[in-house]
C-alpha cells in the first residue's frame, strides 16, 4: 500500500500541485522520498560557476574514484551534486517556463523530494569535450570505465535504460551507496 504524499508531507504535496505533478506520482513511479542532506562539502566548481557538493563519505569516495580514473587516463568532470528540494522545484519551473510539459520533464528529472541529488550522494558526470547530460555519454571511455570500476568506490548507475520508474537512461548519473 502506497501512502499518499499529502499524508507524508503536506508542503511537498502543495509544491507538487503547484508544478502540475500528479497526486499519484509516488504510486506510479515507485520512487522513495529522499532525505535532504544537512551537511555536505565542496568537491568541485563547475563551469557556471556552480559548487558541486556531496556528503563527506560520498565526497571521499568520489575523490578516490576520480583519482583512480585519472591514473587510467580518464577525466571525470562533475557537473551536479547536492540539490535542495527548492532547487529541484526551480529547475522544473524553468523547464515549464520554456514550454516543456510536466510529463516530459519528469522523464528526465524526478519530482522535488524524490531526487537522489537531495541526499548529497548523487553526482552527474561528463568528460572534456562531450555534451553534458546526454545519452551520448554512454559512448565515452569514461562511461566504460565507470561501468567497470565505479562499484569499487561505492557508486552505481541509477537510471539504466528501461528503468522501472520511467526515468530515461541517464548514463551520467551515479549514486554513492555506503
The answer to whether the beta carbons of residues 158 and 114 sit under 8 Å apart is no
pLDDT for 134-171, tens place per residue? 999 999 999 999 999 999 999 999 988 877 777 888 99
pLDDT at residue 42 is higher than 90: no
**Which cell numbers in the block locate residue 167?**
526515468
The answer to whether the beta carbons of residues 150 and 32 sit under 8 Å apart is no
Please tell me the pTM assigned to this model. 0.90
Distances (CA, A) of 80 to 24, 29, 102, 125, 131: 28, 23, 21, 7, 14
**Which cell numbers in the block locate residue 34?**
529522499
Distances (CA, A) of 109 to 95, 150, 154: 10, 23, 23
pLDDT for 57-66, tens place per residue? 999 999 999 9
Diameter of the chain measured on Cα atoms: 50
pLDDT for 47-103, tens place per residue? 665 889 999 999 999 999 999 999 999 999 999 999 999 999 999 999 999 999 999
Q: What angle do CA 141, 142, 143 make, to 5 degrees?
A: 90
Pick the residue with more confidence: 7 or 112? 112
Helix axes 85-97, 10-19, angle to 10 degrees: 10
The answer to whether the beta carbons of residues 11 and 19 sit under 8 Å apart is no
| CATH number for the domain formed by residue range(s) 35-176 | 3.30.1380.10
**What is the Cα–Cα distance from 84 to 59, expressed in whole angstroms?**
17
Residue count of the chain: 178
The answer to whether the beta carbons of residues 79 and 133 sit under 8 Å apart is yes
Which letter does DSSP use for residue 176 in this model? E
Parse the chain into domains and list their residue ranges.
Answer: 35-176
Amino acid at each position: 500500500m502506497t501512502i499518499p504524499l499529502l499524508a507524508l508531507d503536506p508542503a511537498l504535496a502543495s509544491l507538487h500541485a503547484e508544478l502540475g505533478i500528479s497526486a499519484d506520482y509516488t504510486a506510479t513511479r515507485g520512487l522513495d522520498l529522499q532525505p535532504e542532506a544537512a551537511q555536505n562539502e565542496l568537491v568541485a566548481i563547475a563551469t557556471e560557476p556552480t559548487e558541486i557538493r556531496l556528503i563527506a563519505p560520498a565526497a571521499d569516495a568520489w575523490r578516490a574514484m576520480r583519482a583512480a580514473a585519472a591514473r587510467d587516463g580518464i577525466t571525470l568532470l562533475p557537473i551536479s551534486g547536492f540539490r535542495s528540494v527548492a532547487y529541484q522545484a526551480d529547475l522544473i519551473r524553468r523547464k515549464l517556463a520554456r514550454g516543456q510539459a510536466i510529463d516530459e520533464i519528469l522523464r528526465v528529472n524526478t519530482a522535488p523530494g524524490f531526487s537522489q541529488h537531495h541526499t548529497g550522494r548523487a553526482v552527474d558526470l561528463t568528460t572534456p569535450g562531450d555534451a553534458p547530460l546526454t545519452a551520448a555519454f554512454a559512448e565515452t571511455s569514461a562511461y566504460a570505465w565507470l561501468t567497470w570500476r565505479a562499484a569499487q568506490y561505492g557508486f552505481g548507475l541509477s537510471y539504466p535504460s528501461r528503468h522501472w520508474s520511467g526515468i530515461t537512461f541517464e548514463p551520467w548519473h551515479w549514486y554513492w551507496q555506503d
